[in-house]
Structure 1
Amino acid sequence: MYTSRPSDPKTSTRQRDAERTRAALISAAQTLFSTRGFANTGVREVAELAGVNSSLVNRYFGSKQGLYRETLEQVLDIIPMLQGDRRRFGENVVSIFLGVQDAPGPLMMLILSAADPEAHATSVELLHKKAIEPLARWLGPPDAEGRAARLNILWSGFLMSWRLLPLPQLAEVRHSSTRRWLEAAIQAIVDEGES
């Protein structure tokens, strides 16, 4: 008969420390990759911001590229946006966009990855895997992937014009006709499958 041994408290503490260290590195990486870009961020800077030794980046992620992949994989998640009422999707998405503070996000990571071919390839791959594919499944036919791509274009364009290259006309977007237009444009793409 097999009996399990009591768990070693030291092992459990090490696992929690490893989880905290990984989380701290990912948080630091998100901040730096989305403000400085992949090419302008060093492993030492990420580790310093996380408050850990830089050798732990390689230990937990294998490389800076591995850290980038893991970070983007965690922050690029469209699934929560797909949980609400389908008939109010446009309103819900715009509310999410407008409710996000100036925290570093996946869009900046994606854009700023373009300077490094390997990071850019990872960004394109994960954008498709973590955003376009789940959105296309949720949208359903007809032309699910095309509609998902059009939504991505609309969102990226809006977020770039509002956050990265701010247009003065979008300063009051929370209470403007632009908000209503964006909600309607998003909803129209979603509703193409209903007709």
Structure 2
Amino acid sequence: MPKRDREATRARLLEAARLRFSREGYDATSVRDLAKDTGVDAALIFRYFGSKKALFEEATADIPGDLLEGPQEELVARMVRSVIFADWTGYGGDHPLVAMLRSSAHEDARQRIRDEVCATYVRALADLAEGEDAELRAELLSAWLVGLGILRSVVGTPALAGATAGDLAPHVRAVASGLLGRPMSGTSREPGQ
């Protein structure tokens, strides 16, 4: 098989995996289903990725790591744009974190969520927090932002689904400032700005 065909097949498998994992989770997604979705033999999945677990890790690897880059006081704004307003159409419209959440019955997925969320974003928010119980307040803010993202993109609640980043800005600013114990700025930018 020419290299271009291999790359195209591998890309189709990743796209199918992203959709299946985000809609059904890890345990409910079978290698046979993924092969059927892409019209290839199931053996190709193992050939290209080595295992279903490795495919899952690669398919959910798009959680942006660049959120930690930039002014500290704008971290919440970057999280809002990434978690709530980013375009994740390649994932059926859902953030890759949703695939991990739907797979959280699987220990590897739960550990990955802890690694991705707690060790990076929660830690960065805790570093911004002033006063006692910074870790708890950082986790509360993270949970709230993830919940907003799920209600907006997965559940599609009317007010959140129709809201813009500017609509949410004063509320996000108030909650983030209250939980972190310091003024937060930069939460009114639209996605892509």
The alignment's TM-score, normalised by the length of structure 2, stands at 0.70
Task: Tell whether the 8 Å contact from 2:49 to 2:55 is kept in structure 1 after alignment.
Answer: yes
* Matches of 1:137 and 1:108, distance apart in 2: 20
* Matches of 1:149 and 1:35, distance apart in 2: 25
Q: Which runs of 5+ in 1 are unaligned?
A: 1-9
Task: Tell whether the 8 Å contact from 2:151 to 2:157 is kept in structure 1 after alignment.
Answer: yes
Q: Equivalent pairs: percent with the same residue?
A: 27
Residue 153 of structure 1 and its aligned partner are, at CA, apart by 0.6
Task: Tell whether the 8 Å contact from 2:122 to 2:142 is kept in structure 1 after alignment.
Answer: no
Residue 110 of structure 1 and its aligned partner are, at CA, apart by 2.0
Query: Is 1:132 the counterpart of 2:118 in the alignment?
Result: yes
Task: Tell whether the 8 Å contact from 1:39 to 1:113 is kept in structure 2 after alignment.
Answer: yes
Query: Is 1:108 the counterpart of 2:98 in the alignment?
Result: yes
Q: 1:20 to 1:136 in 2, by over 3 A?
A: same
**Which region of structure 1 is more displaced relative to structure 2, 16-25 or 132-141?**
16-25
Q: 1:91 to 1:69 in 2, by over 3 A?
A: closer
Residue 125 of structure 1 and its aligned partner are, at CA, apart by 0.8
Quote the residue 2:139 is aligned against: 149
Task: Tell whether the 8 Å contact from 2:81 to 2:165 is kept in structure 1 after alignment.
Answer: no
Task: Tell whether the 8 Å contact from 2:12 to 2:38 is kept in structure 1 after alignment.
Answer: yes
1:5-39 residue CA offsets vs partner (Å, 9 max, x unmatched): xxxxx9xx65x765554443222211111123223
Pick aligned residue for 2:75 from 79, 83, 89: 89
Task: Give the 3-state SS of the residue equivalent to 2:103 in structure 1.
Answer: helix
Q: 1:26 to 1:101 in 2, by over 3 A?
A: closer
Pick aligned residue for 1:173 from 150, 163, 166: 163
Task: Tell whether the 8 Å contact from 1:29 to 1:67 is kept in structure 2 after alignment.
Answer: yes
Quote the residue 2:187 is aligned against: none
- Which of the pair is proportionally richer in helix? 1
- What letter is aligned with 2:18? Q
Residue 192 of structure 1 and its aligned partner are, at CA, apart by 5.2
Task: Give the 3-state SS of the residue equivalent to 1:38 in structure 2.
Answer: coil
Residue 167 of structure 1 and its aligned partner are, at CA, apart by 2.7
The alignment's TM-score, normalised by the length of structure 1, stands at 0.69
Matches within 5 A, 1:13-162: 20-72=8-60, 74-77=61-64, 79-96=65-82, 97-100=84-87, 102=89, 103-114=93-104, 117=105, 120-139=106-125, 140=127, 145-162=135-152
- What letter is aligned with 1:89? L
* Matches of 1:176 and 1:104, distance apart in 2: 21
Task: Give the 3-state SS of the residue equivalent to 1:75 in structure 2.
Answer: coil
